[in-house]
Amino acid sequence: MNSLSKLNTAVLTALILLAAAWWGRSALSDSDTLGEVEIHQIPGTRKTGKPAKAVLQSSGSLKLSVTEAGRPVFCRVNVVGVDGNYYEPVDNPLAPWSLSRLGNRQGKGPFRYYGWFFYCDGQCEVVVPAGATRIEVWKGFEYRPVVVKTEVAVGQPTAVDVPLKRTVDLAAEGWYSGDTHIHLDRRSEEEDQRALDLLAAEDIRFGHILCMNDTRTYRPVMDQQIWHQLNGIGKESVRRRGAYQISSGQEYRCGTFGHICLIGGSRLVDADGLKTDPNNWPPFGMVADELHGLGGFAFHAHGGYSKEIYIDFAQRATNGVELLQFAEYRGISLEGWYHILNAGYHFPAVGASDYPYCRALGDCRTYVHLSAAPTFENWNAAAAAGRSFFTTGPLLQVTVNDKRPGDTLALPDGEQELSVRVRMQSLLSPVDEIQIIVGGEIISRKQLEEAQRTDPVDWTDTLKVQDSTWVAVRAFSKSASSRDDSEAHTNPVYVSLGQRPVRNEASILWLLDKVEERIAFQRSREFPQREQVLNYFQASDDALRKLLKSTD
């Protein structure tokens, strides 16, 4: 790689990092400002503080220790002074990832209280104004947040110990959290340890750390990527510390087809080699085919941006879709995903944060159920099989006649009764409603009130079906200003009656319209591989029309 190319890549990386930081500082409309108030306003108060530094003459020091079973643990912390502002440790290796420096993408959910947090290893010293001081501690979705108040005297150290205890242990029941879309540099052992620190602080068991290309060009070499992964790709790159693991992959990006997350492969994909123009050739389905040969799985990022995803699913070329992000269902949205499922495709969804281009690390994540050892190979395969739920916080365990998401429930022909059991708890933000969804329709709903909104809920309902279908469950609520906050959705349990496939004519016709829109778009462009791309896209149209005939 020549020095000019290296310079261009370095400049682009710097600009992207600057943009990520700027999202937390740019001007907002009045409506957006109200949403940002929810992020930084202490619940139950009118205080909307800012990051600040204490004046030494009128301050004291807070010596904080956050422990679990007597040992310091990585966590996320707010220290709020008597003035309502937020204070950080002077010396903190994790300071670059505090909310005032990275993440905090304005206008994006989840819209809930975050304050102006910092990460720490469980022990830190913070200089704060003398007076009443509030300490808030979080650690992922399975710990109930803890709030401690203390008085800090001028010129005096004040020691505070905050014990944490896991409230819900989903790993004990075979459920393991993961984020399939994180951007961090992995150029050294030190950076690997920082990544593991951050995963531990947010209690993310499996972290996929992705490089990415400029959307205008692609070269299958790491020094042409943004967010360098220099410790290998896939299995070679796995590092583990205690319960937390990281592995490197890539986000392959372009403007015409969308973005796609490639995880688990043994190296960067070649695509079309050094002559690759990602906006023209090859299409994502062919990139995914190469990845599958490397042992990996391909998930359309950002809900597929409603682009080539409509082509690839029809040929079963890709493994699924990153649907829940920013606490919203992006791209194809729930509507498009439900239509794909109604056409008879097993096309799993995941939730992922896209850190740091989001509100906070792991604010959307996926819980996968494993019956084998908790390794990346097993986690990735289970995610691609849909053995999961995805969430911004609500912990959602569902069975249908004792079958979990991703399973097929085979029953005889004729009307059948299904027993749907839902266990849910949301420790970070309340849930207002749980819905049972059958074939894309809400069949049953449970409204939650008062303590039910955050305490454990165990709800069983029965329903009858007369044809093959799928069953999933959603739990959600809006924020105080009616913005996206609590969201969780399971992948389907597939119900097969008499071995008949799921075939919904209206959904297939809806999907055909989307495919034809994508074909028309490619036909309107002039580029060297136009006919090859059109042939590939036409194969999806043909596949759906064949399905449509089977509904006659």
Q: Can you read off the two tokens belonging to residue 224?
A: 């042409």
DSSP string, 227-272: S-B-S-SGGGG-EEETTEEEEEEEEEE-SSS-EEEEES-SS---TT
Q: What is the pTM of this model?
A: 0.95
428-474: pLDDT as tens digits: 999 999 999 999 999 999 999 998 999 999 999 999 999 999 999 99
- For the stretch 502-526, pLDDT in tens is 999 999 999 999 999 999 999 999 9
pLDDT value at residue 5: 47
Residue-wise pLDDT for 364-386, tens only, equals 999 999 999 999 999 999 999 99
What is the average pLDDT score of the chain? Answer: 94
Q: Tokens at residue 358, please? A: 């989001």
Predicted local distance difference test score (pLDDT) of residue 31: 55
φ and ψ at 495, to 5 degrees? -110, 120
Instruction: Indicate the SS3 state at residue 312.
Output: helix
Distances in Å between the Cα of 187 and the Cα atoms of 88, 218, 361, 385 are: 27, 20, 20, 32
CA 13-14-20 angle, 5° bins: 90
pLDDT in tens, 313-356: 999 999 999 999 999 999 999 999 999 999 999 999 999 999 99
